[in-house]
A = this chain, B = another copy of it.
């Protein structure tokens, strides 16, 4: 197979224009390239832990990451799902706080690390990057506020349907065009929906009985997307 891009530099990174750095000036991209550190995180490995101090931001070149809070009783709440081109770790860094969430690789993932001082200084000099950053934060805030409304007002059945559609939006389908392109445990799905694991399992079984999905271990196939959209009862 032909190697289309040289992944080893930020200048030629295949995610560059698919990321918050899309409008960053060339000189700053070069600067970032010089100081970045790339790593592979194996499935299940932790990028950073809730409560620890941020030293920079992470940029996903390839792979999948979940970002989750630990609730007061120790229950996980997944607040974001991330993929190639996504940046993470910026929230705590910009607020000047410790991480309020943990990041864990959902599969083997290639990630570059940009040191805090460099990221902040580029952010202050490059208005294009700063503006994209604000857009990103605004979009995340919007999603979070929508989620608040849905958590407060929608029954679990609708939220599960919505979550499956969200997973599809984020990671898409596999080559067959119907299998969700990520492997999540039932517990993780429950922690995305915000419900008990048993409830998530039960409702997935109902969706299966209704022919909306097909379940094969952690593989989930969406058989009737329209029906799923109807079940999610989405207006927006």
Contact digits for A113-136, partner B, Cβ 8 Å, 1 yes 0 no: 000000000011101001101110
Q: A94 near B138 (CB under 8 angstroms)?
A: yes
Q: B194 near A152 (CB under 8 angstroms)?
A: yes
Closest to A97 in B: B142
Q: Which of B100, B133, B141 contacts A91 (CB 8 A)?
A: B141
Copies in the complex: 2
Please give the number of chain A residues whose Cβ is less than 8 angstroms from any Cβ of chain B in the complex. Answer: 48
Q: A95 near B127 (CB under 8 angstroms)?
A: no
Q: A151 near B152 (CB under 8 angstroms)?
A: yes
Closest to A126 in B: B127
* In the complex, chain B residues whose CB is within 8 Å of the CB of A3: none
Contact digits for A134-149, partner B, Cβ 8 Å, 1 yes 0 no: 1101111110111111
Task: Tell yes or no: A233 within 8 A of B by CB.
Answer: yes
CA distance A236 to B152 in the complex (A): 21
Q: A138 near B137 (CB under 8 angstroms)?
A: yes
Q: A131 near B124 (CB under 8 angstroms)?
A: yes
Main secondary structure of the interface of A (DSSP, over half): helix
Q: A151 near B154 (CB under 8 angstroms)?
A: no
Closest to A232 in B: B72
Closest to A192 in B: B152
Task: Tell yes or no: A71 within 8 A of B by CB.
Answer: yes
Q: A69 near B130 (CB under 8 angstroms)?
A: no
Interface centre among A91, A101, A123 (most CB of B within 10 A): A91
Sample of 10 A–B contacts (CB below 8 Å): A69-B148, A79-B149, A90-B138, A91-B142, A95-B135, A96-B135, A123-B131, A134-B137, A137-B141, A144-B145
* Nearest 7 pairs of A and B residues by beta carbon: A152-B194, A144-B144, A137-B137, A94-B138, A151-B151, A71-B153, A77-B149
Q: A90-B138, A92-B138, A127-B127 are in contact. List 4 more A-B contacts (CB 8 A).
A: A72-B234, A91-B141, A94-B134, A148-B151
